[in-house]
Structure 1
Amino acid sequence: MAGVLLLGDEDLFTGRWKVVVMLAGVLAACGNGDSMESFGGRTMGSTYSIKYVRHANLPVPAQVRSEVEKILAEVDKQMSTYRSDSDISRFNELPADRCQTMPASILELIRVGEQLSQQSEGSYDLTVEPLMNLWGFGPQGREEKVPSDAALTEVRQRVGRQHLHIDGHQLCKDAAVEVDFNSIAAGYAVDTIAAKLEAMGIHNYLAEATGELKAAGKKLDGSPWKIALEEPRDDQQVAQRVINVDGYGVSTSGDYRNYFKQDGRRFSHTFDARTGAPVSHALASVTVIHPSALMADGLSTLLLILGPERGWDYAETHNIGAFFVIRADTGFVTRTNQAFERLSSGKTE
């Protein structure tokens, strides 16, 4: 296992539940007029941070920040299950056999969720929110505990992608399902921010929201963006591995931040929709690197749900760059495929 590693300016630990900017301070401008700009704030119940190299002819930092925060505010207004006035919360309140006109972004994520659900044979599912609430992890969760068989049977009738369909610009349901975008919304936001930065002429940047990130180009000194992959511990933050990223999204999903224990067993917030229960295998975390932060976000969750064997086979079959951290009697063991090694070298294809 790796020890604590102090990274240079602008580098990040990545993980779904916590991101720490290491040694961020006042960043000086170069003699040619270029400078490293940095800003961040609160979003989606967590934080975001943007770092980029600014040339003299690029928009002022205040304008860049304004554009980024517009995107984050729109994603929150559309996709947050923690605010009652969001588009998806209003949809979730609808009874069965109703439809609601939705923004194109939500319909896009529904289609991505359908794809991931099909490819995981139903283990990944965007409609698990009733299960999360029942077990105490969701926005309406009351108590973290193992539910009764009767309660679980009732709730599972309201879970399943087959109950959703798109009709033109409308999202419809034939059962009282509730959609949760927590496994892909942040990745979508990062991709949207990255596209906006590129459109503004910013090509050297690191964009991060709630632990999902995308980096492109180089830092001010010409060195690559370095990302620290966090060891799956809940007592302290330790860098297990450091990778270079250029042109890719990176997402880490783990079961080590949000869980409870009952009768000596550990129950995490990660659910397999086929069983209606939290996963119980030895896979502690998965990091995925992918050209799309949205897909890295969704795929890291999917692989974590599938576990150390099924998840590994899925990653290999679909040529997904993945870094697995697996619990063992002696601590943690890691497993990395060739696609991850290639993509984490910091070189674009």
Structure 2
Amino acid sequence: MLRNLLQGAGVITVMSLALAGCQPAERVEVLSGPTMGSTYTIKYVANKTTPAADAAGVVVQNILDEVDRQMSTYRADSDLSRFNKLPAGSCEQMPAPVLELIGYADELSRLSEGRFDITIQPLLNVWGFGPASRDRQIPSEEAISEARSRMGYQHLSIEGNQLCKEVDLKLDLNSIAAGYTVDRIAAKFEDLGIHNYMVEVTGELIAKGKKPDGSPWRIAIEQPLGNGERVLQRVLEIDGWGVNTSGDYRNYFEEDGIRFSHTLDAKTGAPIAHNLAAVTVIDRSAMAADGLGTLLMVLGKDEGMKFVRQHGIAALFVTRENGEFVSHVSPDFEQLFPEQGR
């Protein structure tokens, strides 16, 4: 649903005049490639003081490789996969970034009374959406019950630099890892003197500053049609904000005419069954926007709107109502984007 609207994605050269004379030319450098089973695209404004594209590309790849080594559920040798293989009652030393993400996930779990839960992997597997899945089908009540017996964020704890589990938990950080990666890359760019950029990883993104012509980074939000057709819904001018759009329109299966979303409610053990098609969250942190997007999809529009009002979150909900898509914005979203909120 997020689509970058940047024009002239190749090399853009502009010249500006000042009292001191001509300023150095600026251009947009583009980095892209595969990651996390999807892709990343990064655009930054380069000049004589910023790293060249090949040097910036090495920095980005190092961060992507580190996240993969630490948090992938599809790599048997990742830190997270090794922890998932440990029996109940085990503790394992974990890298600081993993502990940071688990700490934030615990905060979301407590705020939502367990509706957000990174120990959900056994449930994802039995429904056919996890790394150990084979077929997507409706599982038996016994399979759901067994999976839920191996879940529960309250059975996970951090003790110093160790991660401990009371029961046979299998963790899945996919709901926040991409957003975290975006934040890491953006922070590194700032350290390198790159202050005008758009960083997108698997759909999670953050944009800051302006393009060489002085225009802002514009992000398009599309309606959640899910049929390959693209219909523009909103265009947001982003400067210093992370953006996440979560939806049930791409990853699902149908059985007997009923749609089963990949977004599961940890409390019910089943896919969400409300009319919320998609939600977009804006936050200074892409990791926070990523996690909140998942949580709000679980809550649905009514509960979700109460949650964002209570916590001051900028969110746009898109519901299916009588065969049409209807938008609902939170007060904080309306304040950030008043023209779109009216």
TM-score grouping bracket, smaller chain normalisation: over 0.9
Change (3 A) 1:57 1:44: same
Aligned equivalents of 1:58 and 1:43: distance in 2?
Answer: 24
Contact kept? 1:289, 1:343, Cα under 8 Å: no
Question: Which among 231, 245, 249 is matched to residue 252 of structure 1?
Answer: 245
Residue type at the aligned position of 1:251: N
Residue type at the aligned position of 2:11: L
> Which residue matches 1:343?
336
1:304-335 Cα offsets, whole Å, 9 max, x none, are: 11001100100111010000000111311000
Aligned equivalents of 2:8 and 2:142: distance in 1?
Answer: 51
> Which residue matches 2:199?
207
Any stretches of 5+ residues in structure 1 without a counterpart?
1-12
Question: Which among 307, 314, 321 is matched to residue 321 of structure 1?
Answer: 314
> Which residue matches 1:5?
none
Aligned equivalents of 2:140 and 2:331: distance in 1?
Answer: 43
- 1:289 match: secondary structure: strand
> Which residue matches 2:230?
237
1:83-119 Cα offsets, whole Å, 9 max, x none, are: 1111101111111111111000110111111110111
Residue type at the aligned position of 2:52: V
Aligned equivalents of 1:50 and 1:173: distance in 2?
Answer: 37
Larger relative contact order, structure 1 or 2 (CA cutoff 8 Å, min sep 6) = 1
1:32-54 Cα offsets, whole Å, 9 max, x none, are: 31111111101101000110111
Contact kept? 2:5, 2:219, Cα under 8 Å: no
Any stretches of 5+ residues in structure 2 without a counterpart?
16-23
Does residue 276 in structure 1 map to residue 260 in structure 2?
Answer: no
Change (3 A) 1:69 1:345: farther
Does residue 159 in structure 1 map to residue 151 in structure 2?
Answer: yes
Shift of 1:247: 0.5
Residue type at the aligned position of 2:13: A
Matches within 5 A, 1:34-49: 34-49=26-41
> Which residue matches 2:18?
none
Matches within 5 A, 1:108-119: 108-119=100-111
**Bigger CA drift: 54-63 or 162-171?**
54-63
- 1:223 match: secondary structure: coil
Contact kept? 2:5, 2:218, Cα under 8 Å: no
Residue type at the aligned position of 1:204: N
1:186-217 Cα offsets, whole Å, 9 max, x none, are: 00000000000011111110001000000000
Q: Cα RMSD between the aligned structures?
A: 1.5
Contact kept? 1:245, 1:344, Cα under 8 Å: no
Shift of 1:24: 5.5
> Which residue matches 1:28?
12
> Which residue matches 1:8?
none
Does residue 286 in structure 1 map to residue 279 in structure 2?
Answer: yes
TM-score (norm: length of structure 2): 0.93
Aligned equivalents of 2:9 and 2:208: distance in 1?
Answer: 21
1:229-276 Cα offsets, whole Å, 9 max, x none, are: 121111123221110100010001100000011122111000110111
Aligned equivalents of 2:326 and 2:10: distance in 1?
Answer: 38
Contact kept? 1:244, 1:345, Cα under 8 Å: no
Does residue 59 in structure 1 map to residue 51 in structure 2?
Answer: yes
Does residue 120 in structure 1 map to residue 123 in structure 2?
Answer: no
> Which residue matches 1:295?
288
TM-score (norm: length of structure 1): 0.92
Residue type at the aligned position of 1:84: A
